[in-house]
Amino acid sequence: MSTRQFTEHEIAWLNQFEEDQNFAVDLLSRVRRVGADEFRDSIMNLIEERVNALGQPVALYAERSIRKYMGQPNRLFKETKGKVKRANGMGPKPVQSENNKYPETGSEGIVANIITQFVRSNREIAFDHPGPDLIREKKIRRFILVTDFVGSGRQASRYLQSAWRMSSVKSWKSGKFIDFEVLVFSASQAGILKLEKHPSKPKVSIVEACPTVFDYDGYGDTDSVELCMKYGPKDYESGSIPRLGHSEIGALIAFSHGMPNNAPRLFHKKGRKWTPLFMGRVVKPGSLAPEVERYTKAKAKLEKMQEVRLAKLAAQHNAKPDEVLFSLVLIALKKKPRSAMVVSARTGLSIAECEYALTKCTESGWIDNGNALTPKAHKELKYLRRPKRAPKQLFKEDKPFYIPTQLRAPK
């Protein structure tokens, strides 16, 4: 059971699980909490890293819902009429609700502001939602879509499709004048695969993988999925949202600006006898306990992967950071699949940390080219799992040093 300190709001939600509270506590402890500052800094750093790596003018767009007509997303830009169509005019609005009657602003508002802040300090190379005219004028070479989360990948794919419908855009891509990229804080494996299959062939860069209820299936853990299937609102009360969330992703992540609809519905859908933790997917201030510190998080992950001795090692504040990092990554590689994406989801480490660890583990001979553990790695883990010997006591408290009470005079 987790040692996390829960808020009153979380405790009230946990009390609904009756005899399964231990499993519910474990599930809630695995939800990744992303604060506003962490989100802003991470996305800003990711944009800066990618733009600097490209070294060419880029167009930045905040992903949002695109309206559809006759089953197709509306075109992103205006274009000329006639036999030969040419994209022209201004760029898309950063924020535009899909429903005019009940308008809502989602995470695109936050992302659009981050883009604006970045562009203000990089005006020579970055452009905020430019249209075709500006793309041609500034010789922009990269179309970058920025978002907070990719679950099923449908919404981001629809945005890309709205640009791909333009003949000019296809011509730019065919002539190698422009490439596509998607920058995301967190994403599911299914969402990334869907984006990579889009005709525009975008490069997908993320900060960290999204944890899901399926991450520890290979370690004998099916409690999370079973819990989500057993509790929460009934099927007839939840509308179109499945028990494991939209597209059955089972995402375990909550941003300060909201929880994605790909999360299990017991977190965010109301029932006649069920009160969700995030009503309407809204994360209220103070409703979630803060993220635990690094060593405690590593301990919990190792315990989940049935490594009790290594968990105790990680919990020690004098533990070497690299020792904790490498042991966590090596244990995450015990079961297939073994990509950096999967390791990130299992460990809670960023993609950059996982790639660094995988590189070092390969150099050290601990993993092979397929990221499978080598005999050397098993030997190293065996050494780390060894029980610590208790320090030898020089004397026992019940047998103190001998102190004479009488002394004889010398002869």
Write the pLDDT tens digit of every residue in 63-82: 998 888 888 889 999 988 87
The CATH number for 36-209, chosen from 3.30.420, 3.30.1540, 3.40.1350, 3.40.50, is 3.40.50
| Model pLDDT, residue 188 | 93
Which residue in this structure is represented by tokens 């996305």? Answer: 43
| Model pLDDT, residue 335 | 82
Render 46-113 in DSSP notation, one character per residue. HHHHHHHHH-S-EEEEE-----EETTEEPPSSEE--SSS--EES----S---S-SSS----THHHHHH
| Model pLDDT, residue 221 | 63
| Model pLDDT, residue 380 | 78
| Model pLDDT, residue 4 | 57
| Model pLDDT, residue 311 | 62
Domain layout of the chain by residue ranges: 8-31+212-281, 36-209, 294-385
| Model pLDDT, residue 3 | 45
Output Rg (C-alpha) for the chain, integer angstroms.
Answer: 27
| Model pLDDT, residue 281 | 83
Q: Which residues contact 128 (CB under 8 A, 6 or more apart)?
A: 60, 94, 115, 116, 119
- Name the stretches of the chain with pLDDT < 70: 1-5, 217-222, 286-322, 384-411
Print the SS3 string covering 337-352.
CCCHHHHHHHHCCCHH
Bridge partners, residue 47, by sequence: none
The CA distance from 152 to 392, in Å, is: 57
3-state secondary structure at position 327? helix
The CATH number for 294-385, chosen from 3.40.50, 1.10.3470, 1.10.10, 2.40.128, is 1.10.10
| Model pLDDT, residue 35 | 87
| Model pLDDT, residue 319 | 57
The model's pTM is: 0.80
